[in-house]
Amino acid sequence: MAEITFADVVDAPEGEREELIAALISRMTLKEKIKQMSGSANLLDLAMMLIRYNLKPYDSGRNRRLGIPPLRFTDGPRGVGIGHSTCFPVAIARGASWDADLQERISSAIGVEARAQGADFYGGVCINLLRHPGWGRAQETFGEDPHHLGVMGVAALKGAQKHLMACAKHFACNSIEESRFYVDVIIDERTLREVYLPHFKKCVDAGAASIMSAYNRVNGTYCGHSHQLLSEILKDDWGFDGFVMSDFLFGIYNGVDAANGGMDMEMPGRWRFGFGFARKVKRGLVPIERIDDAVARILRQKARFALKGDKSGYDKSAVGSRAHVALALEAARKSMVLLKNENGALPIAERKVSRMAIVGELATRSNIGDRGSSEVHPSYVVTPLEGLRSRAGGAIEVEYDNGSDLSRARVKAARADLVMVVVGLTSREEGEHMTDFLPRGGDREDLGLPADQEAIIHAVASENERCIVIVEGGSAVTMGSWLDEVEAVLMAWYPGMEGGTALAEILFGDVCPGGKLPVTFPASTEQLPFFDKKARRIEYGYYHGYRLFDREGLEPEFPFGFGLSYTSFAYGPLELSDEEIDPSGLLTATFDVTNTGSMYGEEVAQLYVEPPGTAVDRPVRELKGFARLPLEPGETATVSMPVDAGELAYYDVGTSSWSVEPGDYSVRVGSSSRLEDLRSSAGFRIRGD
């Protein structure tokens, strides 16, 4: 036992592993333990990180004496940042697919590409709740709803962890970019537990290897130092047996406070857990038991994942492979959301179109998202113009104008049979923000398009009534100043390396649009919660997104869950398996969905539950289930969704426990969160104690 090495821990049966981990830790010096708890980046690595983040994996915790391998971390919510990896549509676009199976397959592909390029630890499972659509990194998460976030986050986690460790981030309440390093989020216990943490709990229950803490403060304490978040909730209440790692560089400010709070690993280098930290541990400022616990958590996951993945290894030929590019194309097809389509503007009737004008600088841009830590460097990108020209072939003349001269753009629009305007946002307007000296990224307080782009829309729409607008971006865009002037609007998001191909397929009707919004598109910013991108202190309330719109009776431009199709769907009656259940019970909701149109299409059926709302203030309705259904014309699918009473609980701050309110509940199913789109309903009762 005295000569135990890490290999012995890996080879041991799972039931004996904890004892061997403890024995291995007993052989380690304090210096060796602390090295397990921190990254290995030096000042040169830091300088390279600022020039090209993710150029290579970031190591931590190698111990040659005991045979402990390092963790090799890489990032990438839309693909691996190393090399020329496959670039998938951004996470919020994949959220718009409402397809958990697709997300799991994408994350598995990302895991393969990460392993093929030397990484074994992946940081791309971003599940921060989109409280306000102006958040600069909205594109990195899946949307505004905790249930939807949890389902998609678990799918991302499971896919990646077929091949390597993954961490879910950023824990917690991280949804302002420009003040992320210092903002103090003031939030009550119930809002924290019910709104901002459930999706993290789902990832913990699904076996997350790691959780990354956020930069910001919560109720006065930095997340990286928070005993409440990292120890009381995450480790004690939830039983998390993985390790907590800091966000990079500024994730912790005091090594003693961080370690005592529950931080297990500082990344990417050894600064707060570096010079002088060992002396503080020896003085008793950090109990050695806390150090041993942190090391045990790290070794536990290293051992757990040591034998994960393909036993034959990972070849670099998988990076940007044909199969992965095809997956990126599938994701782009499924994620685009048709927001408006009047007078049969789409799909394009090819027999009626001989000349088409494409206007806007973004039509020729490789606009695939933020250039911060989520940046991917694919071998090529299909732009909207390339995709449309390729699909149009020689049958339709495609004329392009960048829109810089409005008079010229008007002329081209007037002589075309239809005009398409490609507008939206880029990494200059939104994304990760490091400093005010770099004009890149950050939050959006104004959700409208840039003024020059709106001017282009007004100009060309005045010359051609057949005007179609394609919007690129990572979150909601307000459209009230120009929406009534155009026939059709398609939200393309940042669609990845095959975005131009998917866009053309949808516009020409080769693919039926089936995406649904994972975030409410407001009619104006006045409808949204208070947002200050430079806030030092901000209060997060219980309501945001569709829950706020329902509660206040507000009309969005486009509601959460909304998306049009080229075909139509009918919902049959909703049947519940039980009329009454216990507070710990489970019932099944069953209903039919039929494709009543003439084209193959995919419908996202959504299930919402309305609580009694008498014990405490509750949302009007909450999403509790969804399914993406592929249907041929005339085909009917029977859908069964579980409704777990435990998922309907509220957090009772008086007893510090979860409570299921007895009473009458309503279940509604349909095509969006709005009452008029919820086609079928039924009721059930939860019995009291």
Quick check: is 247 catalytic? yes
Q: Is the peptide bond before 225 cis (omega within 30 degrees of 0)?
A: no
- What is the spatial distance between Cα 622 and Cα 230, in angstroms, rounded to a whole number? 27
Give Cα 381 distance to the centre of its chain: 22
Beta-strand pair 217-218/184-186? parallel
- What is the spatial distance between Cα 653 and Cα 188, in angstroms, rounded to a whole number? 9
- In eight-state DSSP terms, residue 16 is H
CB neighbourhood size of 86 (10 A): 28
Amino acid at 138: A
- What is the spatial distance between Cα 517 and Cα 521, in angstroms, rounded to a whole number? 8
What CA–CA distances, in Å, run from 183 to 126, 138, 244, 482, 540? Answer: 19, 17, 21, 35, 12
Per the DSSP assignment, residues forming a β-bridge with 640 are 590
Q: Evaluate whether 31 touches 278 at the Cβ level (below 8 Å).
A: yes
- What is the spatial distance between Cα 84 and Cα 627, in angstroms, rounded to a whole number? 33
What CA–CA distances, in Å, run from 184 to 173, 174, 188, 396, 443? Answer: 10, 10, 13, 56, 17
- What is the spatial distance between Cα 492 and Cα 90, in angstroms, rounded to a whole number? 10
Q: What is the 3 state secondary structure string of 164-227?
A: CEEEEEEECCCCCCCCCCCCEEECCHHHHHHHHCHHHHHHHHCCCCEEEECCCEECCEEHHHCH
Q: Please give the backbone phi and psi of residue 611, each rounded to the nearest 5 degrees, phi first.
A: -85, 165
CB neighbourhood size of 222 (10 A): 26
Kindly name the residue from 8, 59, 99, 247 that is annotated as catalytic: 247
Number of residues assigned to the chain: 689
- What is the spatial distance between Cα 303 and Cα 319, in angstroms, rounded to a whole number? 26
Closest to 103 in 3D by CA, of 497, 622, 628, 510? 628
- What is the spatial distance between Cα 91 and Cα 103, in angstroms, rounded to a whole number? 9
Q: Evaluate whether 470 touches 490 at the Cβ level (below 8 Å).
A: yes
Give Cα 300 distance to the centre of its chain: 27
- What is the spatial distance between Cα 69 and Cα 81, in angstroms, rounded to a whole number? 22
Q: Please give the backbone phi and psi of residue 15, each rounded to the nearest 5 degrees, phi first.
A: -65, -20
What dihedral do alpha carbons 240, 204, 80, 33 form, nearest 10°? 0
- Containing 590, the helix (H) or strand (E) segment is strand 586-595
Place of tokens 């111990």: 63
What CA–CA distances, in Å, run from 265 to 245, 273, 281? Answer: 5, 8, 15
Looking at the chain, the number of H-run helices and the number of E-run strands are: 19, 27
Q: Which residues are catalytic?
A: 247
